[in-house]
Amino acid sequence: MELLKPYAHLRGFNYVPSTAVNDIAFWRDYDEALVERELTFAQRLGLNSARPFLAFVVYEHDPKSFLARLTHFVRTAHDRGISVMPVVWDSCFDDTRPTINSTENKWIPNPGVQRLGPEFWPAGEAYCRDIVQALGPEPGLAMWDIMNEPLITSWVGEDAPDREERKGAIWNFVHHFCGLMKELDSAHPITVGVANAATLAPVVDHVDVLSFHDYRPTRAAIRANIEEGIQVAEANQKPLFISELACLARANPYDVTLELCQEIGIGWYLWELMIGVSRWRDIHGVVYPDGSVRDPSIAAAIRGFYRRRGPDVIPPAVDKEGAGTRVLAQAETWLGTPDADYAQGLALLETIANLLEAGEHVPMNAPPSAKVLALADSEESPASRAELVRLLVLWSETLAAVKA
């Protein structure tokens, strides 16, 4: 467990700006004010390290601008107490050829499978030299992630006729650039963020720090993945952390996996900070562009507070002081009064919505209060009054059932 300590403090996040459909758009259309605002959200959450994915084609198009943007990002993060671990190359997910003009809402590999061979390496080496020269002196630079998930690409799928040769090309690329980055920057450690602990073996001799990802669906599976990583770390006497975790579509909730990480004492980077326009918006992300959050339990978990799930949970008693009984009686009177005051009806509806939410009696993917606010923002009309009546009847029945 001593090997976890150097990076146990990590409370990191993967980052794509809320306006970017992919990482090419991130750096091509770089928005300083947006980055400053969104990294401030990370600071407010208590997050302390960022993992942005770089884009060679943007560098290739305009090296000077790319490096200036990268430097701005690292300095902006550092000003907020956030270190940066840039991802130099990325293998995910297919054989799409990156282009500077990409507007596809998909994850695009970097530099792309077309450029893995040694004929590309001189250009890739120049890129690495330039980013090291730009960021090496920056106090906000934490380390380098040389390549994200090297084998998580359909290019080496089961049906590929030369699958082993293709896998070899990827590992040759990874190992070459691991060695190069060590030569270029001996002051900062390097890692390779592999897909899971079982795939650490091909990189263990080439990195200073081990990192892997976890999207497992149960506590037992998450723990097993972490324990496998710890075994590899202990066998090779190298530090360890998790560079990606949490996915709502893989039964890997933020609060569950973060609680296990705290219990075990391993550092982490969650996927991802922003809920924006990228393909991940409906299964990942903590903060909306306006600073509101998807689920306060995620923000709480980042801060080290977790939902109680034991047998001694004390359920909220929303009618303990009679508020539920009173508002139901008032709602019944309002519903039975012709041309009842619209504002009063809205207040009753909001009271019931608040009791249902506070008592955890409704799904929070569509909180009742959101509908109340929408009605309050609209002009009174026959349609809005009809909707108010419908919701007041519906939610009164729900509250009556749960308070009994």
Give the residue from 237, 268, 302 where a domain finishes. Answer: 302
**Residue 395 to residue 373: CA distance in whole angstroms:** 15
pTM here is 0.94
Same domain, 135 and 237: yes
Whether 315 maps to a domain, the answer reads no
CATH of the domain at 165: 3.20.20.80
Q: Are residues 158 and 80 in the same domain?
A: yes
Residue type, 251: A
Tokens 């004929």, located at residue: 119
Q: Is residue 170 part of a domain?
A: yes
In a domain, 316, yes or no: no
Same domain, 18 and 138: yes
Tens of pLDDT, residues 302-349 = 999 999 999 999 999 999 999 999 999 999 999 999 999 999 999 999
Q: For residues 205 and 132, state if they share a domain.
A: yes
Average pLDDT of span 164-170: 96
Report pLDDT digits (tens) over 100-151.
Answer: 999 999 999 999 999 999 999 999 999 999 999 999 999 999 999 999 999 9
Residues 332 and 232 in one domain: no
Instruction: Return the H-helix or E-strand segment holding 211.
Output: strand 210-214
- On whether residue 199 sits in a domain, the answer given is yes
Residue 318 lies in a domain: no
Q: What's the gap between Cα 220 and its chain centre?
A: 22
Two tokens, residue 315? 């359920």
pLDDT of residue 171: 98
pLDDT at 3: 85
The verdict on residue 314 lying in a domain is: no
Q: What is the pLDDT of residue 120?
A: 98
What is the spatial distance between Cα 368 and Cα 356, in angstroms, rounded to a whole number?
A: 8
Within a domain: 307: no
pLDDT band of residue 14 (cuts 50, 70, 90) is very high
Helical packing angle, 382-403 and 368-377, nearest 10°: 160
**295 and 328: one domain?**
no
Do 375 and 272 share a structural domain? Answer: no
294 confidence band (pLDDT: 50, 70, 90):
very high
- Do 251 and 172 fall within a single domain? yes
What pLDDT score does 97 carry? 96
pLDDT grade for 163, boundaries at 50, 70 and 90:
very high
Co-location of 294 and 327 in the same domain: no
Residues 28 and 132 in one domain: yes
For the chain, the domain total comes to 2
pLDDT of residue 143: 98
**What is the domain range of residue 124?**
2-302
* Same-domain status, 280 and 387: no
Kindly tell me if the per-residue pLDDT of 39 is higher than 90. Answer: yes
Tell me, yes or no, whether 297 and 357 share the same domain. Answer: no
Is 118 a member of any domain?
A: yes
